[in-house]
């Protein structure tokens, strides 16, 4: 598509697909023309379908900046560096269990529990309810063109239980504030007003979903890349300084987020196509990151690729807030696996099941 129809209109869903790196970069960087507010691209009946609809991800400046500022201090590289010893301790505990059991599913045993435990601790919600968090988080990114009415109903039910759970947490923290992000958000004011319940829920769900599903898939997808390129594991064992570059390349090669959406606020040209105002756009990060015009030998997995300006964490005002945290968690996970699991790694030959989602790329299980 990048060659033949880089800017493509799908009449069935009345949406434009954008495939080339330069075009995706422009869509992500120009928030005045390409809005994140659902009212710019969804008819009223489809708006506010999930709590994420009321989060900063679906807002434009200036309100976006104000809400982002409320939580950005919790995710600066400096704050995140303070969490290093805790992330290492959680990772060690998870790999102790793997070594005791003698078998490993990378998703079940490390890539899923690590980020959910970390984000639950930051938010101040008990990580023991991980299983429910997982169901809710899967539901929040679930659904694709093949979803049945039963799938959609299960997603809606999961959303309702998630809302009920967080509303209880808000009540409890209002009565007994703690030293955690939920208590801080309950106290926070924007333009002299407290956040609405929808906005609070939007924050928590965005962090819970963004903070786990994507990082799980970065860890899982990195292992997939390394399974396909065993020589890279040897090079990483010999030189740990290559680990951060290998993770950036995994983000580019098997991007955990395939696409993101925007709506046009005004008529505009992309390539030779004229796009009217109020149109839904799919900006294909996964395609942009394989664009030969930006990445020579784009379909080669090269852990020393330099420069590597991938769009895996987005770009512009919505650039991933959790990028420093995700990078640190993935680095600790990979380094600890290299330390504790010697020899060559081999992913089971059984067929892998991809996650059913139009926006997220990863696998459900990854037996090693």
Question: Shortest Cβ distance from residue 238 to ligand HEM (Å)?
Answer: 25
Residue 78: both structure tokens together:
């400096």
Binding-site member from 7, 52, 57, 90 for ligand HEM (CB under 6 A)? 57
Show the CA angle centred on residue 210, arms to residues 217 and 367, nearest 5°: 20
Q: Which residue is nearest to ligand HEM (CB)?
A: 322
Residue 72 or 99: the one with the smaller Cβ distance to ligand HEM is 72
Residue 305 or 318: the one with the smaller Cβ distance to ligand HEM is 318
Contact between residue 280 and residue 39 where contact means Cβ atoms under 8 Å apart: no
Residue 56 or 201: the one with the smaller Cβ distance to ligand HEM is 56
Per CB under 6 A, which of residues 224..283 are in contact with ligand HEM? 256-257, 260
- CA-only gyration radius of the chain, Å: 21
Q: Segment near ligand HEM (CB under 6 A), from 142-150, 172-180, 290-298, 306-314?
A: 306-314
Residue in this structure with the two tokens 């395939």, named with its chain if needed: 258
Q: Segment near ligand HEM (CB under 6 A), from 222-230, 269-277, 294-302, 317-325?
A: 317-325
Question: Shortest Cβ distance from residue 144 to ligand HEM (Å)?
Answer: 18
DSSP letter for each residue of 147-201: --HHHHHHHHHHHHHHHHHHHHHHHHHHHS--SSHHHHHHH-EETTEEPPHHHHH
Q: How many residues bind ligand HEM (CB under 6 A)?
A: 24
Taking alpha carbons only, the member of 115, 119, 125 closest to residue 169 is 125
Whole-angstrom Cα distance, residue 118 to residue 74? 13
Per CB under 6 A, which of residues 76..135 are in contact with ligand HEM? 119
Element (H, E) at 101: helix 84-101
| DSSP assignment letter at 8 | E
Binding-site member from 18, 325, 328, 355 for ligand HEM (CB under 6 A)? 325
Residue 75 or 170: the one with the smaller Cβ distance to ligand HEM is 75
Residue ranges that bind ligand HEM, judged by CB under 6 A:
28, 56-57, 68, 119, 206-207, 210-211, 214-215, 218, 256-257, 260, 312-314, 318, 320-322, 325-326
């Amino acid at each position: 598509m990048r060659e033949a129809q880089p800017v493509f209109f799908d009449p069935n869903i009345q949406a434009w697909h954008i495939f080339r790196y330069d075009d995706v970069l422009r869509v992500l960087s120009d928030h005045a023309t390409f809005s994140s507010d659902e009212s710019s691209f969804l008819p009223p009946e489809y708006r506010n379908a999930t709590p994420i609809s009321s989060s900063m991800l679906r807002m434009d400046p200036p309100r976006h900046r104000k809400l982002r500022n409320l939580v950005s201090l919790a995710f600066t590289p400096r704050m995140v560096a303070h969490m290093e010893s805790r992330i290492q301790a959680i990772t060690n505990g998870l790999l102790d269990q793997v070594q005791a059991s003698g078998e490993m599913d990378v998703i079940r045993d490390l890539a899923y529990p690590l980020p959910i435990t970390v984000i639950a601790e930051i938010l101040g919600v008990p990580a023991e309810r991980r299983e429910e968090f997982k169901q809710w988080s899967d539901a929040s990114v679930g659904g694709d063109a093949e979803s049945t009415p039963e799938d959609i109903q299960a997603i809606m039910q999961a959303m309702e239980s998630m809302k009920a759970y967080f509303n209880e947490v808000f009540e409890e923290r209002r009565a007994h504030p703690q030293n955690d992000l939920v208590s801080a958000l309950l106290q926070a004011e924007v333009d002299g007003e407290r956040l609405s319940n929808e906005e609070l829920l939007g924050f928590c769900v965005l962090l819970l979903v963004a903070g786990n599903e994507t990082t799980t898939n970065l860890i899982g997808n990195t292992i997939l890349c390394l399974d396909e390129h065993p020589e890279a594991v040897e090079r990483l064992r010999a030189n740990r300084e290559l680990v951060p570059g290998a993770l950036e390349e995994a983000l580019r090669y098997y991007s955990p987020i395939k696409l993101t959406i925007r709506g046009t606020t005004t008529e505009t040209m992309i390539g030779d196509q004229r796009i009217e105002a109020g149109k839904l756009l799919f900006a294909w990060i996964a395609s942009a990151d394989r664009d030969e015009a930006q990445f020579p030998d784009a379909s080669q997995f090269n852990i020393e690729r330099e420069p590597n300006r991938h769009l895996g964490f987005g770009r512009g005002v919505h650039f991933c807030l959790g990028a420093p945290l995700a990078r640190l968690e993935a680095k600790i996970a990979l380094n600890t696996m290299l330390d504790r699991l010697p020899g060559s790694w081999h992913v089971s030959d059984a067929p892998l099941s991809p996650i059913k989602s139009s926006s997220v790329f990863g696998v459900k299980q990854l037996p090693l």
